[in-house]
Amino acid sequence: MTRQSIYVNIMEAIFLSKFKVGMQHVEFNRHEIEESARRLGISLPKNLGDVVYSFRYRKELPESIASKASEGQMWIIRPAGRGKYCFSQVPGALLAPNRNMAVTKVPDSTPGIVARYCFSDEQALLARLRYNRLIDIFTGVTCYSLQSHLRTTVPGMGQIETDEIYVGLDKRGAHYVFPVQAKGGRDRLGMVQIEQDLAVCSHKFASLKCRPIAAQFMDNDLIALFEFEQTDEGIRVSSEKHYRLVLPDELTDKDLQSYSERLSD
């Protein structure tokens, strides 16, 4: 069996053993991953956490689970404490870049030696955001990287990791915290990560206004950025922009004229 089929079988066994029609939440814990693998006669995965991580951030849940969601809903996996998780139903919208968005060209300030050796994963994306000050450009706030891969524990959720934390200030002197989630080509953005980032900021940076950000590589030089806000209907995208990193001579006078005539947000 492939690693992914092992993961699918384990998660199916856990979910289907607990789910009853009408349930909105299905809780389970880390020990049940081991127990399910043993019952199924499957070799226990070396990294138990990757079983859950895979479906939270990289892969769709199998149809046997997805089909049990109510109309217009989808299942996600949320943390529910140390070593605890919960399948939860949320409004069914996957977060993906809008291919119809206008693209803004930005002169690429990534050092040549970094561009030569970087990959297309989240670390490369974080580096490009940093060197090109794309968080500043996107938010209109002067921003500074505070910490990469902040790993902390949030009450009621357990351990959470945020790809990067920026802090910033605007022209009024107001201070902000920007938790950033970065995704390479094959990983997908999920609202559960934004929920976690909001929880981290509420717990660790309570005095700062939290503005969650997500970044997605669309290709090696095209980056989608999203900002989110908490509404009465849940977390929603408040802004989306696409930036293409280009050589200076690829940014024309016509481009600049077009940008100057755009309506401000």
Q: In the listed set 35, 68, 91, which residue is the last one of a domain according to the structure?
A: 91
Residue-level pLDDT at 55: 87
Query: Do 84 and 120 belong together in one domain?
Result: no
State the pLDDT at residue 170.
97
Residues 56 and 127 in one domain: no
In a domain, 51, yes or no: yes
Considering the domain architecture, whether residues 81 and 128 belong to the same structural domain is answered as: no
Indicate whether 85 and 189 sit together in one domain.
no
pTM: 0.78
Q: Indicate if 141 and 31 belong to the same structural domain.
A: no
Residue 96: inside a domain: no
CB–CB of 164/144 below 8 Å?
no
Please give the pLDDT value at position 191. 79
DSSP 248: G
pLDDT of residue 265: 63
Residue 147 is predicted with a pLDDT of: 94
Q: Is 154 exposed, middle or buried (0-12, 13-18, 19+ CB in 10 A)?
A: middle
Are both 56 and 149 inside the same structural domain? no
Residue at 176 is within a domain = yes
Query: Does residue 184 lie in a domain region?
Result: yes
Residue 120 confidence (pLDDT): 62
- Does 72 share its domain with 111? no
Q: What is the pLDDT along the chain (265 residues), one digit of tens a residue?
A: 788 899 999 999 999 999 999 999 999 999 999 999 999 998 877 788 889 888 887 788 999 999 999 988 889 898 888 889 999 988 766 678 999 999 999 999 999 999 888 876 888 999 999 999 999 999 999 999 999 989 888 887 777 889 999 999 999 999 999 999 998 766 777 777 898 899 999 999 999 999 999 999 998 789 999 999 988 877 889 999 999 999 999 999 999 999 998 876 6
Considering the domain architecture, whether residues 129 and 73 belong to the same structural domain is answered as no
- Residue ending a domain, choose from 91, 113, 148: 91
Residue 11: Cβ-neighbour burial (10 angstroms; 0-12, 13-18, 19+): buried
**DSSP assignment of 74-133:** EEEEEE-STTEEEEEEEE---B---TTS-EEEEE--S-HHHHHH--SSHHHHHHHHHHTT
Query: Considering 71, 91, 111, which residue would you say is the last residue of a domain?
Result: 91
3-state SS class at 62: coil
Residue 97 placed within a domain: no
Residue 265 lies in a domain: no
Please tell me the predicted confidence (pLDDT) of residue 238: 94
pLDDT of the residue at 234 = 78
- Is the same domain home to 81 and 171? no
217 and 176 fall within a common domain: yes
pLDDT score, position 144: 97
The number of folded domains in the chain is: 2
178/211 same-domain check: yes
Q: How high is the pLDDT of residue 94? A: 64
* DSSP tag of 211: -
Answer whether residue 231 is part of any domain. Answer: yes
Q: Does the residue 157 lie in any domain? A: yes
Residues 110 and 237 both lie in one domain: yes
Domain hosting residue 190, numbered range? 103-260
Q: What is the pLDDT of residue 249?
A: 94
